[in-house]
Structure 1
């Protein structure tokens, strides 16, 4: 018996022409792909969104669609716990494994429906189209349609009693913050992560004048917080290198070295170079060391734009040995980056407790090494953009014990950090939290989480 030829074409997984032409379809598909890469494959979001080496689909999009992708993924990650709870309430049973991008498609659609100014009908329609084009997701196309339409009808009942602060924070992180700061402060930190970070700038000189020119506000110890966001490279002063982007909290550790004019200063783990620029602009002779050649190249490009001259060295600090001792050292050690969740909402979903354990070992090794690279009487500032006590207070306690008789802690003074008293601990450490005010005016809330401690070598 002769078999009939099969004239049905197998789906290629690529958008059909009429679907590919739908406004916003490509952006939603890329958003779901990148979201999956981040949460399932633990790929850093910055890498996926890199315009030169990131996700190929993202790089192929027009500028406005890339902005849409960033907004969707930001909302999906900031509210990931809420969205997961919503899906649990809407589904009769868990979605089986090996269903393609179904969960990522649903998360992207719900992020638009609940947290972005996008009509439900657009989010639902494009999500259903996307499911229909994914070979493994196709059998669940009807489920996608039903779940999202039900959410549209019942959103108040489904979402009314959610606790975002708890849901959007992995248990291990919430427990760590509660142990370090107490239950209420831990919740305030989590609530701060629901919003994007402000855009802060550091300037070479005259912050008051630049705040006036850029319609900004002075925060921290002389940073400028912009009221309106936009293309950074289109702002006055960018082209002629008058300022650089740097969170108000990130700008504080370099100030703890005091007057560095004429001093030979090492900025260790220096890229992308905000602190390097601070030190060079203050008149220091800076040696910037970083393990990544690519990141160091970006630092060099930043220094060129700013018109600042620094020495750069690509090296692993665990194998590096300076030719001469430095007058002062700033060690911005590798860390979990949990203090930057407002800027990097992928961090809670790609980091695990064992990452902290590995990082604290590296931090301890680096602290012990670099203390021997500063002249007697010289200062070393250790800092991390982490909220974890293991990478801050506990790390320093162990260091002081190991180096007893060789170093002393030099407490941070409130006057050194713009009068931000809540950022200075009783022990004399700098400890900024995302829920702290960035200015004496409490209206200006929010800054990166940062820890710093200062030591003098005997």
Structure 2
């Protein structure tokens, strides 16, 4: 197998970002690798370091749009392919998915989405024979895709059937479909700030929620936003910021944060003055937590262990234990 290729100075603009996006999509769909592990920490795609901030933001949006709309993309492509998506060449599948996602939902010229997707396939030994197919299917998607989307408007195609069935049982069909529709939208960027939420909301063109979370609609690489490098805030969904606040004043208290990575709640407790031990069973995710704490200039003890079996070294116990168990990332 040839070594992975990264960007070169003479490469077609945007191709490197799309190549890495295709690698990440392949990792999720065929190699059972999580999205987080491929984007951050020690297991992150090595080509990310070669991308400019703008291309890195494009890559993330390509991946997020493709995975968020995977069911709908599968439906559209099934209508455009007589024999279905090729199964013997993962790069052909990812090129079709990413290309169609750009055409249907992203502000990318159709000709660029088609051309760069075909180039992705041409560069892959196993998929090269499908370059003509990818080109033809995506050109047809540009002509007919909007109509195919209209035909399934309101259908929750992007939710696994078993999960949709459970939602309907718990919430009713109308509410379940509303949840499914909300998950199809690109989410806002929520931030927990160290101080002066109003000032950061103004600087980042956002608003302060009643819980003091700063919410902004900015998209792209967070690393280039004001205050990131200085460790003045961290990305944390508004709902995820609630559990740590239930403890009230934690100054001087000894706390354990189980299932801690990537560290938002650990950071909250440490910033509040607590002595925190963060526990997570994933070494890669724990490495990410440590990186975040270093940037934020906060400290915590760490332990890589399964929380169900972890035996703390301290004998004095804890004043509080936070367990925000891993969720299914469904937003519920």
**RMSD over aligned Cα atoms:** 3.0
Q: Helix, strand or coil for the counterpart of 1:265?
A: strand
Partner of residue 19 from structure 2, selected from 21, 26, 29: 29
Counterpart in 2 of 1:338?
Answer: 330
- Map 1:65-214 → 2, pairs under 5 A: 65-163=55-153, 165-214=155-204
Verify the 8 A CA contact 1:100 1:135 in the aligned structure 2: no
Alignment match of 1:324 (pick from 299, 316, 319) = 316
State how far apart, in whole Å, the 2-side matches of 1:248 and 1:14 are.
Answer: 38
Aligned length: 328
Alpha-carbon distance, 1:335 to partner: 3.7
TM-score normalised by length of structure 1: 0.64
Q: Does residue 226 in structure 1 map to residue 213 in structure 2?
A: no
Candidates 266, 274, 290, aligned match of 2:256: 266
Deviations 1:330-387 (A, max 9, x none): 1122343333xxxxxxxxxxxxxxxxxxxxxxxxxxxxxxxxxxxxxxxxxxxxxxx3
Note closer, same or farther for the CA distance 1:283–1:84 as it changes in structure 2 (3 Å cut): same
1:326–1:131: structure 2 CA closer, same or farther, 3 Å change rule? closer
After TM superposition, give the deviation of residue 237 of structure 1 in Å: 4.0
How many Å apart are 1:201 and its aligned residue?
1.6
Query: C-alpha distance in 1, partners of 2:210/2:119?
Result: 48
CA distance in 2, matches of 1:305, 1:24: 30
Larger radius of gyration: 1
Quickly say closer, same or farther: Cα 1:54–1:234, change in 2 above 3 A: closer
Q: Any unmatched runs of 5+ in structure 2?
A: none
- Give the conservation status (yes or no) of the 8 Å contact 2:277–2:302: yes
Structure 1: gaps of 5 or more residues: 1-11, 340-386, 388-458
> Which residue is 2:302 aligned to?
312
Residues in 1 aligned to 2:180 and 2:171: alpha-carbon distance in whole angstroms: 12
Whole-Å separation in 2 of the counterparts to 1:30 and 1:204: 34
The residue that corresponds to 2:285 in the other structure is: 295
| Aligned counterparts of 2:83 and 2:115: Cα–Cα separation in 1 | 23
1:294 CA drift (Å): 4.3
Instruction: From the superposition, tell whether residues 117 and 285 of structure 1 become closer, same or farther in structure 2 (CA, over 3 Å).
Output: same
Judge conservation of contact 1:79–1:164 (CA < 8 Å) in 2.
no
